[in-house]
Amino acid sequence: MIEVGNTIVSFDVLTKEFVCDLDICRGECCIEGESGAPVAPDEIDKLKELVPIVWDDLSEVSKAVIKEQGPTYTDEDGDEVTSIVNGRECVFTYTDSDGICKCAIEKAFREGKTDFYKPISCHLYPIRLTEMDGLTLLNYHKWRICRCACDLGHKLKVPVYKFLKEPLIRRFGAEWYEELEMTVEELKKQKMI
């Protein structure tokens, strides 16, 4: 692990290779799991505001869940997460014309309907953040459904931190990312990674 600013970054984030391959996985990360996507405290109200903007893209069952419990809930671990349908699928998903599951929030962002991209936990995946003693830990999360992303990342030689440059800058800033890149180059010179 390395320290960059107020963060501790796992070597896996620097060395594992990863590039999403939606043609193969079909967006399975949005429909698999036991809980919704983690939501930061400052994102809860934003998600409530987005519901009417994305409403027409949501399934009837997603709409019913949102009407009943709202766009987020507290899971069994005590974390605020996006609401889910049938114990698995995020309420903000929709299926495009190619049958790929995608994020209705991201679609609204790309259409210029909002300035909010999507929850940072989704944007940063497969990096998971943990807050501890004033530091943010960045860890690589390995999930069987992302095997194709690991394969494509390996083929293209793209490490996780480079694949996630945009969300890392969104969360930690451009200066932090530049420091991360300099640290990685130094580690390579020292043959530590």
This prediction's pTM: 0.91
- Residue 31 in contact with residue 160, Cβ under 8 Å? no
> CA-to-CA distance for 57 and 108, rounded, in angstroms?
9
CA distances from 56 to 4, 7, 99, 107 (A): 42, 39, 17, 12
pLDDT per position in the chain (193 positions), as tens? 999 999 999 999 999 999 999 999 998 888 887 789 999 999 999 999 999 999 999 999 999 999 999 999 999 989 999 999 988 899 999 999 999 999 999 999 999 999 999 999 999 999 999 999 999 999 999 989 899 999 999 999 999 999 999 999 999 999 999 999 999 999 999 988 8
* C-alpha closest to that of 37 among 114, 127, 112, 110: 127
